[in-house]
Amino acid sequence: MPRSLMVIGAALALIAGCRANSASAVAMAAVEAPVLTPLTIETRNGARRFSVEVARTGEEQARGLMYRTSLPEDGGMIFPMDPPRPAAFWMKNTPLPLDIIFIRADGTIARIAARTTPYSLDLVESGEPVAAVLEIAGGKAAAAGIAEGDHVRWAGR
């Protein structure tokens, strides 16, 4: 085979490979795109609204908010648990302090672990079976007047 045809063939193979990699990268990005859901917490001082990511899969729940260096003002992540169970979280690879809010099956807040320590391997436990766990920016619960006993609602629940 003449050398020019070999070069053209190699170039075409390289372009095809790039396209395949680009397509798979786009497909992976679509799969990994966060699912956002509106979430409302009814406090004594009124409703507090958020738009949070849903940790749907075991992998998403294991990764949580690790490696994030910022959160939107009304952002966070909800970890649904079906069936309800005791939950324990840690802050490994999480550079932001978070408020971890443990939510009972009836939607009431069981416990708030405020301003958790970034990168800590200490377990933050629910203390009882919960149906979901909400993570928001550290200090946000106190600033918004969110307290134990408040009621949490989100789409799909």
User: What's the CATH code, domain 35-154?
Assistant: 2.60.120.1140
The pTM for the full model equals: 0.79
pLDDT digits (tens, 9 = 90+) for 113-135: 999 999 999 999 999 999 999 99
What type of residue sits at position 157?
R
Return the domain boundaries, the chain: 1-33, 35-154
Q: 95: which residues sit within 8 A by CB, 6+ positions away? A: 67, 68, 69, 118, 119
**pLDDT for 134-155, tens place per residue?**
999 999 999 999 999 999 999 8
What average pLDDT does the chain have?
84
Residue 34: the pLDDT is: 78
Pure H helices in the chain:
3-32, 58-63, 140-143
Closest CA to 96 of 137, 50, 53: 137
Whether residue 57 contacts residue 74, with contact meaning beta carbons closer than 8 Å, is answered with no
pLDDT at site 156: 67
Of 17-26, 32-41, 92-101, 122-131, which range is least confident? 17-26
